[in-house]
Each structure stands twice: as structure tokens, then as C-alpha cells.
Chain A
Amino acid sequence: MNDPRWLVARREIAERLRTRAFRVGTLLQLVAIVVVLAIASFAGGGEDTKKVALVGPASQPYAETLKAAGPALDATIETRSYDDRAAAASAVEDGDADAAVIDGSEVLVKTDPDDTLAAAVQATRRQLALSAALDRAGVPPAELRAALDPAPLRVAVLEPGNEDRAERQGIAFIAVLLLYLAIFIYGLWVAGGIVEEKSSRVIEVVLSAIRPRELLTGKIVGLGLLGLGQFALILAVGFVGMQVLDSIDLPEVTVGSVLIVALWFLLGYALFACLYAVAGALVSRQEDLQSTTGALNMVVVGSYILSFTALQSPDGILMQVLSWFPLSAPMAMPARWLVTDVPAWELLGSIALALVSIVAALKLASTVYSRAALRIGPKLSLRSALASREA
């Protein structure tokens, strides 16, 4: 492909991949992810395992029924037979077992603040007794099983449970944070890349071959693809790490959610990349960059904080406004979508609005960039750049 935009994009990707800063930075982020997951795993996330010691033949029937009760306790229950009460008692004492059932007539626990395991044993006893009585009364085994283990009732939730929402909010918080970081970091890449071409003066050589808009578009696309790749790599390592280390209960993340977040990443990046391009075009030295990106950084941080705050009441008016406003929508809309049901027209409308603002931002960026690209020297104001001539 010889399209100049594609050539520019390829150069951006290839050269940045070659830099030490990029490689080390990516590696550090991956290490950080793995370390965080490992710590979370170590700190005891994941499912509990409860061990129950069984003593005497009368206790043996408890094994199957107790194991079946595990999921209700949010735990895996394992059983093991011990020779006598003393052995079982010392196992409980030492923590080798969480509870012991002695001859089907006694439960030993060390401490059981919420009584859950003891209660499970009690329930098991009731079930075994019932089963035995029915069996003696001559109920056929098939009917017996059906009676003891009926098909579960269908559960209809009249008011959506808080627990479910809290989980969705958790995901949304993470999504907002990731989107914020991605927009911020990759936006600064664009600003820095543009200043680099001005400060090294290579810009004039390049602009004698291609148009400013082609250079700008190629740069934004290239850095965006690279950013998306880096982002995807980090997320992939995160997901795999969670599975392998079993550190965090992974909530149901649907393909749809991933696609929505990815879509808004692209929209948000495109919008802010254009704005960061303006900031970069106005200065000629890396040292001056802070003075023009400062205001923009505030906008990004502000959008993040507001979206984060609005997530506390995702159905509120603030969230609705933020999810439409183009500068905050890339963080707020996917967050809102993850937590509540967003009407399709709102989603499509906000996407359309974002696209319109991207077109406007690209136009602004190309204009400023064309006019400021060859103005080497002190920082330009946006107004003076717009007032000057078109290249």
C-alpha cells in the first residue's frame, strides 16, 4: 500500500515499537498486572474449601449430601474419614479440618462465627433422616429422589438485586479507569509525536512530500492502532492471569460489553487525539508541551472524575448528561451501558454525536496543524494559529 497515510501510520508503529521507552513501559505494565493479580490471589480471593472430618460408619452417608450442599455455602466441601473422635477433634483443633461429624450424632467445630458449616451438617442430618423414614415407608427410590431433589423454582426478581448491580458497577469502574488511562496516554503520544517532528525540523521535509492532513491522519491512526494493540495485550494478560491465578471472581463479561468498550475507546481516542494534536502543533519544543496540554489534561481528568462520580447513581441526570456530552461520553456512556439498560436510541445518538465531534475536531486539528506546522519558535496561541495563513 502506498497511501501516504498508511506509510505514516506504519512508520509511527515501527519506530515506536523500536524505542526502549515503549518496550520497557509495556513490560512494566504487564508485570504490574501480574503482580496485582498474584497479590489478589494470595490475599485469599477465590472459593473457600471446607474440610469435614467424618468418624464412624453412621457419618459416612453425610459425605455425598454435604458435598452437594457446597455451592450454597459458596465453598467446596471435602470430607475425610478419621478413626475416632480424638483424632477428629485434634484435626479440628489444628485446623486440618473445619468441622467433624462424630457417629452421625455430634458436630465438632473449633469456632464457627456464622454457624454455616454446622448448619449445613444439621440440614444434612434432617435430609438423611427424612430419606430413611420415607425409604422405610416403602416409597420407591425414583420418587424418593424426586421428592428430595425437586426441580428448582424459577426465580423472578421484582426489584433487581443490589448485589448484581454492585458487580456491574465494579466492572464499570474498571472500564472507566481503563478508558481514561488509554485516552490520556495515547493522546499524549500524539501531542509528543507532533512536537517531535517540529523540534527536529523534519516536518518541512515531510510536508514537501505529502499534505499536512495526510501526515496528521496517518499519525493518529498509527498511534491509535499501536495503542489498541498495547491495550489489548495488557487486557489479555489480565484476563488470562485472572483465570490462571484464580484471583478474582470474574463476573460475566459479555462479548457485547467488550465491543462497546472497544468502540468507545476508538471514539474517545480519535476525538482526544485530534485535540492533543492541536496542543502539540502549537509548540515547537517538548518543554513547552505542558503549557498547551495542561488545559486538555484537565478536561480528560475532569471527565474521568465526573463519570466516576456519576456511576454512583447510574440512572441519574448527571450520568445521562455526561453520557451524551462528547468529551465525557467516551467514558460515561460505556460505563452507563454496563450498569443500566441504556435505550438503543440513546446509545446510537451519543455515538452519532461523538462521530460528528470527531469530524469537527479533525477539521480543527488539520487547520491548526497546517498553519502552525512551520511556525518554529515560541508557543502559539490557538487564536493566532487560526488567524494565520493556510499552508
Chain B
Amino acid sequence: MSVGSAAVLQCRDLHLSYGSTVALDGLSLEVEPGRMTGFVGPNGAGKTSTMRIILGVLGPDSGEVTWNGRPLGAGTRSRFGYMPEERGLYPKMRIADQLVYLARLHGLDGQQARRATDDLLERLGLVDRATDELESLSLGNQQRVQLAAALVHRPDFLVLDEPFSGLDPIGVDVLAGVLRDEVERGAPVLFSSHQLELVERLCDTVAIVKAGRIVAAGEVEALRRQNRRRMVRVAIDGRDDANWLDGLPGAEAVARVDHEPGQLVALADDADAQLVLDRARAAGPVTHFSEVLPTLAQLFREVVAETSDDGDGRSGSGNGASASAPAADREAAT
């Protein structure tokens, strides 16, 4: 993640508490144009509160949200699209009426609203249900309408709270496609999810929140490399020991944590991976040699576990902008 200026949306130092419970503890977050940003964190870490503050549904105790560098006003907010965690529309309202109504609340005139509604129902395959009441639709279709409600006014920015929860694999693919389209159309997307594989697959950038603070943020790829020893996996036909590595400076055998074959070798910053390969070839026929990067899920576990151990600061922040890691060992709020 680049520093400051590139971001279209910035949350700066948001604080929020409900009575004695701290929900947000100086959270700062950036969303860059043309990107899909994943927002992950344990339950109660402050994802929903942050999203509600961005949408103006909730006001922070302190801190601010800016859009293109300017404080966020109602006019800009009405150009945002939102899917709250608590899904819900008017159960007895016909879905086309419902979408037209919401589009108009977001500032479209009657004609634009009707056209946008027709387009969207077409796109989501709901045209023949246009005059049905919401509650008569299947749960899957109701979720499509909920998505439509977030998209109908062609928002400049999309905020979705757990949009994938409860979707079957087909639904996940459809939604992922729609979100990619939105990013391509020019609306950056911020969504929260517990499905980390999905986030890793879909998102350009990710922000990990814990106890009301961002503890890691940036491009997924950079985060996977950042602040950690390089790791390679070596498999040598007929050998499952690590003795061949003995005496190579800067290289250290590490116990395996997964079920992949081969030996994990951690490298010091100045170590040369090719030397490891040379040693391996000398020890026998090499069947596998690769760089190993942690998955987002592993990263998440590390980051979330570490910061609660009174922080040793290894994982820490993406460069500068967001996290003032490590967070204090405050337990999750809300």
C-alpha cells in the first residue's frame, strides 16, 4: 500500500466506545481507487463499527473519515453503496419498487432509478420477479436483491459487511464476479469476511483488524513477504532428513507445519537460496524446490496471536499509513 496520497478513502484515528467497552481504538484505514480491499479480523474486532462509521450510520467519538482528502459529507456518502451485516429490506414491498425507492433516496431521479433498477434486475436474473414481494422470494434471491440494493444507484464506493456469508459456492462466484465488475467500473470495494482464502483470492489489498486497531495492512503479496524470513521447500528423492543442510551459513531447517512433502528451510536475509539448491542436488535428485509464502490465513493467525502476547512487533504495520501496531492486549470489543 502506498502512503497517504493514493488513497481515495481514509479513516484516521477512529475511536469509539460503547460505555466501558472500547470498539475502536485509534483505527486508521485506507482504500485505494481501483482496488478491492479485504477487511478481516476476529469477531468483535471493530469491522462493523468501522463500516458503519464510513457510511455515517454511526458517529465516532473522535477521528475522521475523508474522501479524496476532504471530510466526508452527506452528499458524498449518498454515493456510497452499503450492504450491512444485518441483512434486511422491506419484506412486503415489491422488489422493483424497493430498488427504485432506495435509488431515489440515494439521489437518482425517478427515471434514472427505474432504468437502473431494470438493468440490475436483468443482470442478477430477477427480471421476472420484479413485481413480487421480497418475502415471497427464496433466501438466495433475497440475498441477490440485497446486493442489488447496494448497487442500484451505481455507487462510487462499495462497502459490504460479510457479503459472502451464507452463500453457496455458485453464489460466491456470482458475487465475486459482480464485485470485480464494480471495481472495473471504477468503484473501489471494501468488504469484510471470515473466509480468508476468498479474501486472498479476490483482494488486491487487505487490512487486518484486532481489538479496534489495524495490525497489518497492505497488498496481500507484500504482506506475505514482509517482516519474515524467506522460506524454501526442498524435496529430495529418497531423503527425509535435513542433514545435507549442515554447515550452510544462513540456512536453517524448520519443522514442517503442513502435509506437503519435503523439508522447509528458513533463510537469513543475506543467504542465497541457490546455494541451498546446490547442496540439495549434491545430496540427491531434487523433485521439488520452491519459495514458501504463508497463506493469508496463516498470516492472520500469526498477527492476531502475536499482538495479543503484548506484542513483539515482528509483523507490525504495512508501511506507515495504517497500523500503529502492535495493539495493546486489550480484548476484543463489541
- Which A residues are within 8 Å of any B CB, using their own CB? 2, 4, 7-8, 11, 14-15, 19, 196-197, 200-211, 374, 376, 388-391
Contacts and interface: CB of A to CB of B under 8 A. Distances in A.
B105 A206 contact: yes
Given A210-B105, A376-B86, A15 B92 contact: yes
Interface in B30-62: 52, 55-59, 61
A200 B88 CA distance: 5
Nearest to B159: A208
Contact of B105 (A7, A200, A204, A390): A7
Given A374-B52, A389-B59, 4 more contacts: A11-B101, A196-B90, A205-B82, A208-B55
Nearest to B81: A208
B334 interface: no
A208 B92 contact: no
B197 interface: no
Contacts, number: 70
Nearest to B135: A200
Interface in B86-119: 86-93, 97, 101-102, 104-107, 109
A196 B57 CA distance: 18
Contacts of A204: 52, 57, 82, 84, 86, 88
Interface in B114-148: none
A15 B18 CA distance: 36
A388 B88 CA distance: 24
Contacts of A211: 74
A202 B58 contact: no
A207 B90 contact: no
Contact of B90 (A202, A208, A390): A202
A209 B102 contact: yes
B84 A208 contact: yes
B149 A205 contact: yes
Given A7-B101, A15-B93, A208 B82 contact: yes
A2 B80 contact: no
B106 A209 contact: yes
| Residue of A196, A204, A388 with most partner-chain B CB within 10 A | A204
A4 B89 CA distance: 18
B87 A208 contact: no
B78 interface: yes
Contacts of A376: 86
A391 B105 CA distance: 19
11 contacts: A7-B104, A197-B90, A201-B84, A201-B87, A201-B88, A204-B84, A207-B57, A208-B82, A208-B84, A211-B74, A376-B86
Interface in B216-230: none
A12 to B, nearest CB: 11
Contact of B80 (A4, A202, A208): A208
Contacts of A208: 55-57, 77, 80, 82, 84
Contacts of B101: 7, 11
A196 B55 CA distance: 22
Contacts of A390: 59
Nearest to B107: A2
Given A208-B80, A209-B102, A209-B106, A202 B52 contact: no
Complex A-B, nearest 3 residue pairs according to Cβ-Cβ distance, in ascending order: A201-B88, A209-B105, A208-B82
A391 B107 contact: no
Nearest to A215: B105
B92 A19 contact: yes
B24 to A, nearest CB: 12
Which of B18, B86, B91 has the most C-beta atoms of chain A within 10 angstroms of its own C-beta? B86
Given A208-B55, A374-B57, A390-B59, A202 B105 contact: no
Contacts of B104: 2, 7
